[in-house]
Amino acid sequence: MLHALDIITAFRQGDEAAAKRHPWLMKLVSAEERIVNLERITSIGQLAHANPVLDYVERTLKILDSLPASYWIKELLEEVLVWAETAKGGTMRERLRWQQSGINLFLHNIGSAQLYERHIRDGNGTLPPHEEMVHTLILTHGLLGQHIRGEVAFEENLPLHKLTEEGRLTADELIRLLIPLNHCIIGGVSEKLWHSVQEEITQLIRILAEGTVPDRWTYEERLRRLRSVSIARGEDFDKQLQGIREQCDLSAALRGFQDMTLWYVEAALQDFSLEEFMKVLLLALHSEKQSPAQQVAEGQRDQLLPDSVSHLSFEPLMNDMYYDYKGVKKLNVYKKRMIEQYLRQTDWTACLHGPVMANPHLSHRIERKPELPDTVFFTFEFSQAAEKLIEFCIEAEKSPLYEKAVLLLFDLFGLRRDAYDRFHNEESYLSDMNSTGDYKKVILDYITGTAVLDIGPGGGVLLDLIEERLPHVRPVGIDISSNVIEALEKRKRLEHKAWEVMKGDALNLRDYVEPGSVDTVIFSSILHELYSYIEIDGSRFNTATVEAALTSAYEVLAPGGRIIIRDGIMTEPGDTWRRIRFREADGLEWLTRYASDFKGRVITYEQLSETEVRMPINDAMEFLYTYTWGAEAYVHEVQEQFGYFTPTQYAECIRGTLGPEAIIRVQQHYLQEGYAEALADRIEFMDEDGKPVTLPDSTCLYVIEKPVHTQKRQ
């Protein structure tokens, strides 16, 4: 086993003196602040109790130990690997002292090489040949991987070729050295990642050993590499880039871009769309322009950052875009939504020439550090009020205060309240929606024609079903949420789906599709959300919302077209009472909290004992919908009223809204499979005499048809 691994093992087993005997280890383990690439970790909270930098170094050494390399290569690379991350270590006081003495702590390959050089020289002359080679390998370590990601130019690796020019290594020896080094560095992050890039890395190493420099990428190819993760997730890079080109002369806007080294750009911006990414990049590159009047006077209108700047770092933005949620690193989607709004309001001209529209709660910021004249740092800066409100949203994620916090945030940034986001659990929400496919298959039997709109498509499960079972149909999903649309577009591209999606308002469908052009409009588990979240005449939980949605759908229907509704239902007669006996100790506490938090209507219950209550049947079922989903979904489910009409009320609403000519072809209601099973071990459901009874119907299915010949409504 490598000597360095023995040293790390001894330290982990309690031999703290091992660190003092080896300066590289002392630097790694003395860090008071974990200076890490957040792209590589899964939990920020664990940083306080772990040392991911030491863990990474240990992984690289284990890979080296396992490789069939010669002794001299292993000995040389062992020294490189133990020093390669040292600029991420040190106590706060040490880091301040290093920085003041000229150590570059922001570009850790440079800083680590400087620390190694200082350790070896210790005030004595130049570096000996062996140590000079180690220094060069530390200085350039990781740059080939960053090159193929589009972050650095190939020329940054040329100091390696000087080792052959100066006769210290043959070309073959350089190749034999660099392949295992890159395997260790990249494999230490992920062996899967190494295998995916091994061929390209090896080819670049051979080119480097020959002393040739490959052709510079076009700006398009470099952007493609910078967006590799987003493209792998389904981003239609070519189509979106062409759309940007039609609005902005990228060749001029990105002049000089190829000479810049970009740090942490993918980690900071991979969750943003390509348009947002490009706007951020242009804001950063053109950030130091003067006022338009001064630019004209001084002839500087199309200049980028000064020539003295060669590094553009997004590390502050990366560090600001994540937080821990239940022990897992999560994208700070609150900040992301606000940044998205900021970028929507910033057009391409403002990105290039300014001025950017002033926002009292958010601005972009370029930071320069006196000790790093060749580097600029880009991030977004939130006002104190916005930061506190975002913190409030994070803290409120598990409480009914969550909705109030989100709406305050929406108001602060001027976002539409009805564009309600589930924020931190949106991915799991879309996944849950996709798990309901079996329940939605019944809808397929009633689809007519070929032009079909799925309102609120969620994770796209119904779109998938239509495409699979009804290949002649052209389904289109419409949603108000940009994030749902973005997620669906990526999945469509990755899975080669034929269905389409568009952003649109369910209450104004005629603004997006031609009236009379749609054969079927589907509302599958979405009308109750519109009813619960959208304000009409200043109030939510308003039947006028359902009426507006029906009217909107009916307007775009072709004669003979259909509206299909699958949603919650209330029971008739509504004055029936039921008893619930809780089998869980906190069941009554759940109900008490729910009755206080539920926004839809007053929930009535009479407590009969510590474990039993008596309730109106529809209040009981409304509560049980939320109780079924559990604590994780509570904060959202308590905001929604699933049952809002009885069957009679539904029919009256349809006829009253659409007129007597609208034909109700199907009117069914039933208990959705799964509710009884989910509640069986948690409650007993009884009539007023205490006899077990089945749960009431939970779900309705309505099919409304627009007659071929209709009369104009008066």
Give residue 45's pLDDT.
Answer: 59
Structure tokens at 369: 């550090």
**Side-chain-facing half-sphere of 73: CA atoms under 13 Å:** 20
**Measured distance CA(97)–CA(51) in Å, rounded:** 22
Give the Cβ contact number of residue 495 at 10 Å. Answer: 10
Specify the pairing of strand 474-479 against strand 500-503.
Answer: parallel
**Which residue shows structure tokens 């709109």?**
453
Q: Is 499 left (phi over 0), alpha (psi -120 to 50) or beta?
A: beta
Q: Residue 340: name the closest of 245, 403, 397, 423 by CA.
A: 423
Distances (CA, A) of 704 to 249, 650, 662: 50, 12, 7
Q: Are 632 and 709 spatial neighbours (Cβ–Cβ below 8 Å)? A: no
Please, what are the averages of pLDDT over each run of 10 residues along the chain (714 residues)?
Answer: 92 87 91 61 59 91 96 96 94 90 91 94 78 96 94 93 92 96 96 95 95 90 94 91 94 88 91 94 77 36 62 92 77 87 91 86 90 90 91 77 75 60 45 54 94 93 94 94 84 92 94 96 94 87 95 97 96 95 94 91 95 96 89 77 95 96 95 89 95 95 89 47
In sequence order, what are the beta bridge partners of 521?
A: 453, 563
H helices of 520-659, in order, are 527-533, 543-556, 587-597, 617-629, 631-637, 647-658
User: What pLDDT, on a 0 to 100 scale, did the predictor assign at position 304?
Assistant: 55
Distance of CA 250 to the CA centre of its chain: 27
Rounded distance, CA 333 to CA 339, Å? 10
Q: Which residues contact 645 (CB under 8 A, 6 or more apart)?
A: 543, 546, 569, 570, 653
CA distances to 186, 330, 679 from 44, rounded to whole Å, are 21, 9, 36
Closest CA to 262 of 201, 194, 311: 311
Alpha helix locations (H) across 149-190? 158-165, 171-187
pLDDT score, position 607: 96
Strands 683-686 and 577-582 turn out to be antiparallel
**For the packed helices 52-66 and 71-83, what is the interaxial angle rounded to 10 degrees?**
170
**Helix, strand, coil shares, percent, the chain, to 5:** 55, 15, 35
Q: How far apart are CA 437 and CA 261, in angstroms?
A: 47
The gap between the terminal CA atoms of the chain, to the nearest Å, is: 89
Structure tokens at 64: 């080296």
**What angle is formed at CA 548 by the lines to CA 543 and CA 553, rounded to 5 degrees?**
130
Q: What is the pTM of this model?
A: 0.77
